[in-house]
Amino acid sequence: MQPSLTTQQQSDALASRLGAHPLPDGSGTRFRLWTSTARTVAVRVDGTDHDMQSQGGGIYELVLPVQPGARYKFVLDGAAWPDPYARFLPDGVHGEAEVMNLHQYQWQNTDWRGLPLRDCVFYELHIGTFTPEGTYAAAQAKLPYLKELGITALQLMPLAAFPGQRGWGYDGTALYAPYAPYGRPEELMAFVDAAHGLGLGVFLDVVYNHFGPDGNYLSLYSPQYFTDRFSSAWGASLDYAEPHMRRFVTGNARMWLRDYRLDGLRLDATQAMQDDSETHILAELAQEVHRLNGTHLLLAEDYRNLPELVTRHGLDGIWIDDFHHEVRVTLTADQDGYYAPYKGGAAALANAIGRGWVFEGQWWPLEDRPRGEPADALGAASFVYFIQNHDQVGNRAVGDRIHHLPHVSPERFRAASMLLLTLPMTPLLFMGQEWAASTPFPFFSDHHGELGAAVSEGRKKEFEGFASFKGEDILDPQAAQTFELAKLHWAEQKDGEHVRTLELYRQLLHLRKTDPVLQNRDRQNLSAGSVAGDLLWVRTVTEAGERVLLWNLGTAELKLDSLPLPFELPGDVVAASEFLPSPPAGEGAAKQREGGRVTKLEKDQGARELGDGDAAELPPLPNPPPQGERELKPGHALLLGRNI
């Protein structure tokens, strides 16, 4: 039977937390653990063993006059093991833990209270490859660039400690200990503090559906943390009916949000968080997160298309695979693997946008059963849309991004980006996407011995169902070079197509924030459709005016003013995915525009700074052709509008 909320709140009291916790008066540290198997229990601090006292119910405790910085392991029946609740493991998941006082850091931006989901523009990044150094401190130096770009929220890939010197982080085993190669806990706090000072939220990807295969010691303390009632592709299933496992996860969520002051969590693969308790663990996590002071958000990665994650369990949003897959198939015609059920094209995209996702009860051939339910009850902000993320790039054999493919031109990629950033759904960018980075993001790991060899071999087998890949083309995730390939090349921002793409992202993110129509996030104002299979249109109408996005997915130019649309096209150009030649210089140029009007983007013309401080000249801004002659080139997108 799961504990009541009152019991759960009591379990979060400092005196009842497992692990090592300095006493508030500074007189020492309380060491505390739970075991259902050990007969003798001690704590080894800086090489000396101290017997712990039984408190009943498998709880052992001891207070020692040691200070933060001391190293320790717990000793069960004579064998020393790492603490699964360790707050820091400086020597890795198999080493000694360090006693940490997470309340010593002096926060500077204490008035930060978070931000609502509707205001989030997420930027997903991997600390180890975002910069050459791969540290919190180096990433912190890039925060002003992200602010200037128009990002409002950072989405960090997992930070919980995992084995080795490199990895994605989804094989974490010590969930309370930030991964040491990225920096110390205080440096992570400084990163979050600096982000808040710039008005940026910080979110963390957490994995509560499995533990990695190397370095998880929970079962040595008690096999009751796990169960065989459920099956898992990643090993033993977590038993959320066991109060200690339940508290392990809810306490972990509270730690990240309370002690590190993060703004929210993205829950990895929630479809695999199986729970037969009266209150599902997802609902309890949502209650715990929303009970904290300020605005804290909880997002799910879940392919099932279930509105109940928000409407019943109380989560705030869901990562939507269907939108990505329809965009991908539209641009590439891929039909391998899980892309096979998607049609692509203007009509399919219009349906995905209009319905929120694609599968809402239709048959899902990959599992031979129906998938999804209608999403009518969800607001636009609850849909997290993306055209790239770590999975959709890294789950490819060589980690190539969508714009790396020879049949995806820079123009078509920029048009897809324009669609993403002008929709009312919550957008997510993957690091480097904003300048069409040349670097791939392949899967990489650093496991040793037989496990490492098994990971390399398993990676090859993973792509046996993809006709476009051959075994010799698949990058070895265990090779250090594979990790190095994933590191962004920041200097390329100043080159060629990268400049054009980066400036478009800057303009669109600015427009998303300031445009009176696009600021409205109500799905009721949104409609989408297609013309002759080649043109996608997306229309937003509010009290402030009208915006219409047009994307030519065909191979021929389209004359805009002869399109059989169910509405009249607005006359003003608000934005364009490609920059047409500039008008003649001088005051007369503006008068040559329609009725003498000059768009806001034209007024903003000028140089802007790149992230590294070097300035790049702005590409020419949209120059709409005279009324009656407007054409949209293949692959291009255009945003038209009128204000009321």
Q: What is the pLDDT of residue 111?
A: 95
Tokens of 355: 């319905």
Question: For the chain, what percentages of helix, strand and coil (3-state, to nearest 5) are there?
Answer: 30, 20, 50
Mean pLDDT of the chain, nearest integer = 90
Domain with CATH 2.60.40.10 in the chain: 16-98
pLDDT tops 50 at residue 608: no
pLDDT tops 60 at residue 470: no
Catalytic residue among 263, 268, 316, 434: 268
User: Alpha carbon of 623 to those of 478, 518, 593, 619: distances in Å?
Assistant: 50, 21, 8, 12
Local confidence band at 554 (pLDDT 50, 70, 90 cut-offs): very high
Q: What is the pLDDT of residue 15?
A: 82
Residues 308-350 have pLDDT tens digits of 999 999 999 999 999 999 999 999 999 988 999 999 999 999 9
Q: In the 8-state DSSP scheme, what is residue 493?
A: G
pLDDT tops 70 at residue 627: no
Q: Which residue has the tokens 């960018």?
A: 429
Domain with CATH 2.60.40.1180 in the chain: 525-643
Which helix (H) or strand (E) is 393 found in, with range? helix 390-394
Confirm whether 497 is a catalytic residue. Answer: no
Residues 359-400 have pLDDT tens digits of 999 999 999 999 999 999 999 999 999 999 999 999 888 999
Residues 185-198, mean pLDDT to the nearest whole number: 98
End-to-end CA distance of the chain: 59
CATH 3.30.70.660 applies to domain 525-643: no
Confirm whether 629 is a catalytic residue. Answer: no
- Beta carbons of 23 and 99 less than 8 angstroms apart: no
Q: What is the pLDDT of residue 88?
A: 98
Residues 543-564, mean pLDDT to the nearest whole number: 95
CATH 2.60.40.10 applies to domain 16-98: yes
Q: In sequence order, what are the residues at sequence separation of 6 or more whose Cβ sits closer than 8 angstroms to the Cβ of residue 9?
A: none
Local confidence band at 451 (pLDDT 50, 70, 90 cut-offs): confident
Report CA 305 to chain centroid distance, whole Å.
Answer: 18
Question: What does the alpha-carbon distance between residue 603 and residue 597 come to, in Å, rounded to a whole number?
Answer: 11
Residues 163-178 have pLDDT tens digits of 999 999 999 999 999 9
Q: What is the pLDDT of residue 233?
A: 81
**pTM attached to this predicted model:** 0.91
Residues in the chain: 644
Residues 483-512, mean pLDDT to the nearest whole number: 96
User: Alpha carbon of 228 to those of 170, 223, 224, 225: distances in Å?
Assistant: 22, 11, 10, 11
pLDDT tops 80 at residue 532: yes
Residues 457-467 have pLDDT tens digits of 776 666 666 66
Tokens of 500: 């054009």
Tokens of 505: 């992202």
Residues 535-552, mean pLDDT to the nearest whole number: 98
DSSP E strands in 394-496: the ranges are: 426-430
Catalytic residue among 83, 124, 284, 301: 301
Q: What is the pLDDT of residue 474?
A: 85
pLDDT tops 90 at residue 603: no
Q: What is the pLDDT of residue 300?
A: 98
φ, ψ of residue 405 in degrees (nearest 5): -70, 140
Local confidence band at 94 (pLDDT 50, 70, 90 cut-offs): very high
pLDDT tops 90 at residue 592: no
